[in-house]
Structure formats: structure tokens, C-alpha cells
Amino acid sequence: MLIDQYKYFILHAPRQTGKTSFMLALMKYLNQNGTTCRYINVETAQAVRENIAKAMRIILCEIALRENTHLKTKSLDSIWIEILEKSDEFALNHIIILILCSR
């Protein structure tokens, strides 16, 4: 499987053609078959892309929210704000490392 080999892909298609539905179905399938998968949407951060700190806050909040929603865990709830305050523009890297290490 591509994921086991750390190979990634881009899903590119016109609006309203089922990209999000496909990704949500893939996430559900992977989570049911032993791979921990999260789906996040960072479109809201695009509006503030000139302000890295604000964009990072939006992205980290989205990761924590989706972890609660899709995985029914709250492991990032208590730490993402602290990581953001301490790490600033590298906060996303720290969260990704935490997620990968928890696999």
C-alpha cells in the first residue's frame, strides 16, 4: 500500500466531483483496517497565509478538532496551544512528529 511505503499522492479534480467524500471514505476504511488516519481541511488558513502565526493556530486547531471527531481521542487538546506558544512557526512540525510517534 502507498501509505505503508510512505508514498503520497495528489487528488486533483474540479469542484464538486467527490474529492472530499473520497478522502473521508478512505480515512474510514484505513481506520477500520488498522491504520490511524486523520482528515483535515486547511482551507480556512489560506485566508491568513500572510500571517504565519494565525495560520498555524488555525491548522493546529483543525488537527486537534479532527482528532476528536474522527478518532475519538483528545490527546492534542491540552497541548496544541502550548506547542504553538513555544514553537511558533515550527509548531506544525512538532505536532506532526507527535502524531507520527504515536502510530
Q: Which residues contact 38 (CB under 8 A, 6 or more apart)?
A: 27, 63, 66, 67, 70, 71, 99
Q: What is the DSSP string of 29-61?
A: HHHHTT--------HHHHTTTT-HHHHHHHHHH
- Provide the pLDDT for residue 88: 65
**pLDDT over 90 for what percent of the chain?**
12
Each of the 103 residues of the chain gets a pLDDT tens digit; together they read 677 787 777 888 999 999 999 989 988 998 898 888 888 888 888 899 898 888 888 888 888 888 777 777 767 766 777 777 777 667 767 676 666 555 5
Instruction: Indicate the domain borders of the chain.
Output: 1-37, 43-101
